[in-house]
């Protein structure tokens, strides 16, 4: 079976058209691509963005200059909180996390040390080497004073999440594990992702969940046993980020970690797949969702009114009350 391909959704087409219609009043162009990725960043924060990309070792995507780039969206959303006041954003997060936190640091495109998930041979990816990264990381202090972290996946116009690369790999010697949820939960160590070809380390997703939940099955009680592996398609990317959150806790880096979503409020496809992901978990509250409109509201409350208005127009996005 060929690996599935993402198809541009009606929402993606509509948003692209809306932003292209906005551009003539902004820079005189109506192209779906900026000449340089930085031109899609809020003008007053453009220099900050260039510095952040260097300081955080952000690997710019090949489509970072697209008007619907999620990478540019992430930078535009969270740059005001990089150096500015973070209390308003923490206040918007608190009811979603069920916990009061103080945001101490904002980081972009964070890749954990290689041994944490075992995805890469060293402590940073080599060219062409893939590793799970958190689009935005909020390093926080819990009410207890102990360290915590909020890992956020940022989505703008995508139709869903990244599929499993091992499912259709020619090197996969156990396709039966992919085709049967019963087989997978019985033998998660037989999953191709655990020991991919030409890798020095085993990937630790399944051992992390077994260590922190008792078993992989217990970590995902809502997963159906009918059909194939529940992580072959849209649940693959959230699973890896949740494994990262649990690993940070078990290794003692933080006392508590959350993995959540921050998406464009009007994207129905991502919302649908996120709801399906939440149903796999022991408690849906484990998968908080921070609407992009709430981030705009936090920035407005922190005194970034012009930025909030620009973001609202740029992305055709409301500002939460």
- pLDDT per position as a tens digit, 58-77: 999 999 999 999 999 999 99
Indicate whether 23 and 66 sit together in one domain. yes
DSSP letter (8 states) at residue 122: S
Indicate whether 91 and 180 sit together in one domain. no
Give a yes or no: residue 271 inside a domain: yes
Indicate whether 169 and 156 sit together in one domain. no
Give a yes or no: residue 112 inside a domain: yes
**Residue among 318, 316, 273, 310 at smallest CA distance from 42:** 310
What's the structural domain count of the chain? 2
Phi, psi of 106 (to 5 degrees): -115, 125
CA distance 125 to 76: 25
Give a yes or no: residue 126 inside a domain: no
Give a yes or no: residue 304 inside a domain: yes
By residue range, what is the domain housing residue 66?
10-121+134-162+257-315
Report residue 2's pLDDT band, with 50, 70 and 90 as the boundaries.
very low
Name the percent of the chain lying above pLDDT 90. Answer: 85
Structure token pair of residue 37? 């990725």
Torsion 137-143-145-146 (CA) sign = negative
pTM of the full structure: 0.95
172 versus 277: the higher-pLDDT residue is 277
223 alpha-carbon distance from chain centroid: 21
Over 253-317, what HEC string results? CCCEEEEEEEECCCCHHHHHHHHHHHHHCCCHHHCCECCHHHHHHHHHHCCCHHHHHHHHHHHCC
């Amino acid at each position: 079976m060929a690996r599935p391909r993402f198809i541009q959704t009606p929402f993606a087409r509509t948003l692209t058209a809306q932003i292209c219609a906005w551009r003539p009043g902004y820079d005189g162009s109506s192209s779906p691509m900026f000449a340089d990725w930085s031109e899609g960043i809020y003008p007053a924060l453009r220099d900050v963005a260039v510095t952040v990309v260097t300081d955080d070792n952000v690997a710019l995507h090949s489509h970072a200059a697209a008007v619907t780039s999620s990478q540019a969206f992430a930078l535009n959303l969270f740059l005001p909180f990089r150096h500015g006041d973070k209390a308003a954003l923490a206040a918007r997060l608190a009811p979603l996390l069920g916990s009061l936190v103080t945001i101490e640091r904002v980081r972009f495109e964070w890749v954990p040390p290689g041994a944490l998930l075992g995805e890469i041979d060293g402590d940073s990816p080599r060219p062409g080497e893939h590793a799970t990264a958190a689009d935005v990381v909020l390093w926080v202090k819990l009410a207890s004073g102990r360290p915590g972290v909020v890992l956020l996946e940022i989505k703008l116009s995508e139709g869903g999440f990244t599929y499993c690369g091992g499912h259709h790999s020619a090197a996969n010697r156990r396709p039966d594990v992919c085709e049967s949820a019963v087989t997978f939960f019985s033998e998660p160590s037989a999953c191709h992702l655990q020991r991919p070809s030409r890798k020095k380390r085993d990937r630790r997703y399944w051992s992390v969940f077994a260590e922190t939940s008792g078993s992989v099955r217990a970590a995902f009680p809502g997963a159906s046993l009918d059909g194939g592996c529940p992580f072959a398609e849209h649940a693959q990317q959230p699973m890896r980020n949740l494994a990262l959150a649990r690993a940070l806790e078990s290794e003692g880096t933080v006392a508590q970690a959350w993995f959540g979503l921050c998406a464009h409020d009007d994207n129905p496809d991502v919302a649908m797949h996120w709801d399906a992901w939440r149903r796999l978990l022991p408690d849906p509250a484990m998968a908080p969702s921070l609407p992009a409109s709430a981030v705009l509201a936090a920035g407005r409350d922190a005194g970034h009114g012009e930025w909030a208005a620009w973001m609202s127009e740029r992305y055709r996005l409301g500002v939460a009350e």
